[in-house]
Each structure stands twice: as structure tokens, then as C-alpha cells.
Amino acid sequence: MVKLFLQKNWLIFLFFFTLILITYGNSLYNAFLSDDLAEIVQNPKIGNLNYALTNYPFGFIRPVLYWLAFNIGGLNPLFFRLINIFFHTGSVFLIFILFYLLKQKRLGIIVGSLFAIHPAISESIVWISGGGYPQYAFFFLASFVSYILSIKKKLFYLLSLIFYLLSFMSHPQMPLPLFLIFTLWEFSFGNLKNNWVKSIPFVLIAITYILVTLTSLPERETTLQSMHYQQGGIDNPFFLIPVALTSYFELTIFPATLTLYHSELTFSAIQFIFRAIIVLIFFGLTVFCFKKNKFIFFWSAFFLITLSPTLTPFRLNWITAERYLYLPILGLLAIVGWGFDKLSNLKNFRQISYILLATILILLSGRTIIRNVDWKNEDNLWIATGKTSPSSPNTHNNLGDVYGRRGDKIAALREFQKATELKPNYGDAYHNLANTYLELDQPDKALENYQNALKFNPNLWQSYQNIGAIYYHQKQYDQAIEYFQKAIQVNSKNLNLRLNLGIIFLEADQKEKAKEIFNLILSIDSNNQTARQGLMEANK
């Protein structure tokens, strides 16, 4: 059966693969960016399998894949990005198989092609750290296809449960409501009355992971507040949902403005009312199709269900992010594909529909190829984001880094100042602003901004360190010692902090304390020549 299926459809799979290769070929050698640096480049345990397995059974798949990529090619981003390409290609194949099982092969080709190259979901594929989205989507689609196949062969039901479990091991949040898709499927195309019991194991798996997710919410909230300086609280869902949904409609239909930070979400009353009306029409059509067109009803509901984890009023997500759209866009593309399929069935419009589809595929693929260039390196990404997200403080902070690396300290200063104006509690931006003042030989302003950084983020050990360094160069040794000790309290495993503290003790003629520190360092790193030399000086 499988062999016959492949013999009949291998050209279609080759077409999908070629389409993806053409569209994403220019992204394969893009650099590690943003979260990639902390997760991969700066992770000393990236090549340690035992470390990769520490999250078993929750979320261990991706660390193991990173371990494999590292052991194949070292810190070569190509091998890490191929993981995302693999899951994306697999998702496209599964989308075609899904529609093939529905006896809608031509629709499967249309939807699979649109999904393969759509620029609105390219962030999840090009950005290595965004790869959890195609990964969980791949396993869920495998679960969904297996569920449909289980009608004829019971073994596929077990496979469906296993793949569903793997989707949770790929992403902690997005798969939570997906058990509803199986019930929705039975209601729309199957036999809910006879098969509702089949959904119970999926519900139990989801409940288990909901409980796990609830235990991790405080940590998630702390991370958002400490690293992203996001204020806690609850957003108005009557504002959030129309803004989010219409933003995703816009990204799907006209993906001109692609950005890492969708910050331009302030609208006039008229603009908001217009967006709210569009959402009400979408909800109305979904309800109308409940009886009139089960296909459109199912895929509209699919879009809403798969997107629902990001539409909560709790400030645990961004209002809009392209990576959130990875699986939900399938619902919208299925409806668009249905329209093309119906148009092609009309004799007088068949040729026009094919030309129109080919044109759209070329335009979408071209837009993705252009977007891949934005993800080529840090400079490209933040300059592009600066054009699309001028009200994002994160954007200005990262642009400051770009200008700083280029040697334009005044431009860097301007960007960091703008970041702190937009987000007055932005500790990292104050730290970077202080660094720039220090490079401009203005230590007083540097000290002021380091203190501001610590006011809003007491865990910025680098600010304590740099304040200590300023006092050291000013020969104010007591203050320098105080701040280096504070830095060590935050980052106790950093031997360089202890080494510098030992040097300060030595300069302050506190040789016993200096010897104590140098001996501690040598007990951990016996080859540390600086500590050995410092110990010799302290013993004189």
C-alpha cells in the first residue's frame, strides 16, 4: 500500500522538496542569531548527551538534535538549520497525505505548495531557535494522519497517541488544545457518536501537560519580567483577539511587513472598529458554515484552536508573532486552497486559476527568499527590524549593538537612549548605554546608567563588574571590591570575576584576602597562570 502510494506520488514529493530547496536555499548558511547564541553557541554543554537528556521526558528532543548537529558539524549553523528544514519538509509531506486521505489530492498539492513557501511562517524555519514550531507541528500532523488511518488499521491509533505525545515533547504550550482537533474531525467528517471514546487518551495526555505547564508558569513569568522587562497583568481580550487575528489574516494574505517584533499595534478607533468587524465576520462565517459547509467550518475552527494558546489575556506571550502562525496558517491556507480548487473546476476559469496560483507561488517564494536575507546575520536582522518595528525598545537596543560594532558610538548612544525612553525599566539598554558612555570616556555618565541598569535588573552582574572596574581605575579600591563581590553573588561560577577581585585585593595591599582567592581559583583551575602569578606577588 505504501509502496503503491509512493509510486503514484513521488513526483509530487519531489516537487515539494524542490520548492522548499529553492525557497530556503539562500538561508542555509545564515549565522546563529538572537536566542541561538545562548542556546547553542554559548552553551558549553551543547555536545554533552547526558545534558541533552536532562529534560526527559519533557522537551528533550530538541537538545538531542542539537547534540547530534554539533557532533556532526561542530558549531556550523548549517547542520542546526537543517533540523528545521527537515521538520518543515515533513510537515508539507504530511499536509499532502492528509488531503490525499480526504480524497482531495489536487487540493493537497495546492495547500502543500502554499505552506511550503509562505513567508509568514519563514521565521520558524530560518531562525534555528524558532524550530520548535515546525517540530511540534510535524508530530501533530503525523498524529492527525495516523488517527485518520486508524479507521482502517488499529495500529495507527497507537502511533497517533505516540506522535501526539512527541508534539508535547517538542513545545510546552502550543499543543495543549490540539486534542480538540480529533473531536472536531469526528464531528465534521467522521462519527462523533461512535468514536468519542477515542478522544479520551488525547484529553488525558493534554491534561497531564497542562498540569506540567501550570507548574512552569511562575518561571515563565519571571523570565519575561527579568529578561524582557514585560510588565505583569491581564490584557483586554476584546482588544487583543481582534488585533491578533487581523494581524495574522494580513500576514497570510499580504505578507509585506515581516518582523521579529510586531510592535506597531496601536490603532485609531476607526481602524480598530474595522478590525473588530472583520473578526466578527470571520466568526459569523464559521458559525454559518457549521451546517452549510463542514470543510470551511473545520478549517476555520482549526485555525482558531491551534492559535488559541497565544490568545490568552495573560501576558505570557507576544500579541502577534510570526512563529505562532506556523501550524494555524494551515487552516487559512486550506480555505484559500479550497477556493482555488473550486475555481479550477469551472471550465472557463481553469486556466486562469492555474496561472493565478503559479503567480502567487512565485511571489510568495520570492518574498521568502528576500526575507531570508534579513536573517543572514545580526546586522541585517536588526536593521530590517528597525524599519518595520520602530516603536519596539528591543529593536533600538539591538540596533545600538549594531552601530557599536561598526564603531559609530554616537548612533549607538542614540539607539540605546531611544530604547530606555520607550521602556523606562529596560535594564539591559541602560547597561549598554553605560558601556557606550564608558567607551566615549565619560565614566560619570557610565556609572549613572549602570546604577539605573541594576535598579531595574539586579541580576545584571556585568553592571556590577563594570562599576567595580571604573572604581578600580579611579583607585577607589573599597568601592571596587564591594561591586565585584556583588557581581560574584549573582554569578558565583565566573572565575574571572574572582580573579579580578584577587587583583584588586592585591592592589589594595590586602594580600591575605588576595591569596585566599588565588588559591581558590587554582584549586578549580590549576593551570590558571594569572592566578599563579598573583599568588606569587601576594607571597612576597
Q: Are 99 and 338 in contact (CB under 8 A)?
A: no
* Mean local confidence (pLDDT), 403-431: 95
CA distance 422 to 412: 16
pLDDT at 414 over 80: yes
Has residue 64 got a pLDDT over 80? yes
Please count the other Cβ atoms lying within 10 Å of the Cβ belonging to residue 266: 9
Structure confidence at residue 34 (pLDDT): 87
**221 pLDDT higher than 90:** no
Give 167 or 222, the one with higher predicted confidence.
Answer: 167
pLDDT value of residue 237: 87
- 228, pLDDT greater than 80: no
Q: Do residues 326 and 90 lie in contact, with contact meaning Cβ atoms separated by under 8 Å?
A: no
In a 13 Å sphere around the CA of 433, the CA atoms on its Cβ side amount to 26
- Segment 267-292 shows an average pLDDT of 95
* Domain boundaries defined on the chain: 2-374, 379-538
Contact (Cβ atoms closer than 8 angstroms) between residue 91 and residue 114: no
Look at residue 5 and tell me whether its pLDDT is greater than 90. no
Mean pLDDT of 134-153: 95
**173/176 Cα distance (integer angstroms):** 6
Contacts of 52 (CB under 8 A, 6+ apart): 60, 63, 64, 66, 67
Neighbours of 311 (CB within 10 A): 15
pLDDT in tens, 233-242: 678 888 999 9
Residue 31 has pLDDT above 80, yes or no: yes
* Element spanning 176, H or E: none
> pLDDT value at position 320?
93
- Indicate the SS3 state at residue 46: coil
SS3 category, 509? coil
Cβ neighbours for 209, distance < 8 A, ≥ 6 positions apart: 168, 172, 175, 176
pLDDT digits (tens, 9 = 90+) for 316-329: 788 899 999 999 99
The count of other CB atoms within 10 Å of the CB of residue 153 is: 11
Q: Are 100 and 144 in contact (CB under 8 A)?
A: no
pTM of the model: 0.91
d(C-alpha 284, C-alpha 85), whole Å: 37
Which residue's C-alpha cell is 482531495? Answer: 104
Quote the percentage of the chain above a pLDDT of 70.
Answer: 95
**CA gap 237, 101 in Å, rounded:** 37
Kindly report, residue by residue over 158-215, the tens digit of the pLDDT.
Answer: 999 999 999 999 988 898 899 999 999 999 988 888 888 888 999 998 888 888 776 6
User: What CATH number belongs to 379-538?
Assistant: 1.25.40.10
pLDDT at 330: 98
Provide mean pLDDT across the span 334-362.
Answer: 90
| pLDDT-based confidence at residue 501 (cuts at 50, 70, 90) | very high
- Residue 509 region, left (φ>0) first, then alpha (ψ -120 to 50), else beta? left
Say whether pLDDT at 219 is over 70: no
Going by pLDDT thresholds of 50, 70 and 90, the confidence category of residue 223 is: low
Chain-wide mean pLDDT for the chain?
A: 91
Distance CA 90, CA 147 (A): 17
How many Å apart are CA 229 and CA 250, to the nearest integer?
28
What is the C-alpha separation between 153 and 235, in angstroms, rounded?
46
For the chain, what percentages of helix, strand and coil (3-state, to nearest 5) are there? 75, 0, 25
- Model pLDDT, residue 272: 94
pLDDT computed for residue 192 by the predictor? 84
Exposure string of 386-425, with b = 16+ CB inside 10 Å and e = fewer, is: bebbeebbbbbbbbbbbbbeeeebebbbbbbbbbbebbeb
* pLDDT tens readout for residues 510-530: 988 989 998 999 998 888 898
| Phi, psi at 234, each rounded to 5° | -130, 130
540: confidence class by pLDDT, cuts 50, 70, 90: confident
Residue 452 — pLDDT band, cuts 50, 70, 90? very high
Residue 59: the pLDDT is: 76
Least confident of 41-55, 234-248, 351-365, 471-485: 41-55
Q: With contact defined as beta carbons under 8 Å apart, do 109 and 62 qualify?
A: no
**pLDDT at 315 exceeding the cut of 80:** no
What does the pLDDT read at residue 227? 58
* Residue 244 in this model has a pLDDT that exceeds 90: yes
- Contact yes or no for 528/512 (Cβ under 8 A): no
Q: What are phi and psi of 45, to 5 degrees?
A: -100, 15
